[in-house]
Amino acid sequence: MPTSGGTPGTTDSTSHLSRFVREWLKDNDMTERGLAKRARDPDTGMQLQHGWINSLVGGTISRAPELWRLRALAAGMVLPARRLAELAAAQWLGVDVAELHNGQRSEDAEVVVVTVPPGLTDEERKLFLRMAEGIARQIRP
């Protein structure tokens, strides 16, 4: 079972949200303080502190973030909160989820959520998803 983000022995492969935020900061040439200034939960108005973001990026947070923190982080990164929640689930709960859409990208599209078998390489994961999509096409081309 995967360890939490703050537990010794956590590897980069199990720190999904931490790694994602670290890479996002680098790719967007932004500091943790800069992200904190933008990271306000649209529902509660609560704002993230740069120290919390630093702990997240450093992998020292020992439990999954509260929903308001994920919403604030998503707002600061201009990303869907659901995406960050999936990464948090992978990091703290060991749940790796992939969504398969029926070709539509609207709110009323049918979605199948598939639990990806643990231990797959990136290439094996991509193959698994292609196989699941192929099954869906065979049922209803």
Q: What is the pTM of this model?
A: 0.66
How far is Cα 69 from Cα 83, in angstroms, rounded to an integer? 13
Rg value, the chain, Cα: 17
- Per-residue tokens: 62: 């020992």
Q: Using one digit for the tens of pLDDT, what is the confidence trace for 104-139? A: 444 544 556 666 777 888 888 888 878 877 777 777
Question: What pLDDT is recorded for position 74?
Answer: 96
Please enumerate, as own/partner, the contacts of 21-28 that have beta carbons within 8 Å and a separation of 24 or more: 21/53, 21/56, 21/57, 21/73, 21/77, 22/57, 24/77, 25/57
Instruction: List the chain domain ranges.
Output: 1-93, 96-141
Question: What pLDDT is recorded for position 104?
Answer: 47
Q: Using one digit for the tens of pLDDT, what is the confidence trace for 61-73? A: 999 999 999 999 9
Question: What pLDDT is recorded for position 137?
Answer: 72
What is the 8-class DSSP label of residue 43? T
CA distances from 26 to 31, 35, 39, 83, 121 (A): 8, 11, 17, 19, 24
- Please report, to the nearest 10 degrees, the dihedral formed by the alpha carbons of residues 129, 69, 24, 91 taken in order: -40
Q: Using one digit for the tens of pLDDT, what is the confidence trace for 10-48? A: 445 568 899 999 999 999 999 999 999 999 999 999 999
Protein fold of 1-93: 434 Repressor (Amino-terminal Domain) (1.10.260)
Q: Using one digit for the tens of pLDDT, what is the confidence trace for 63-110? A: 999 999 999 999 999 999 988 888 888 888 877 666 555 554 445 445
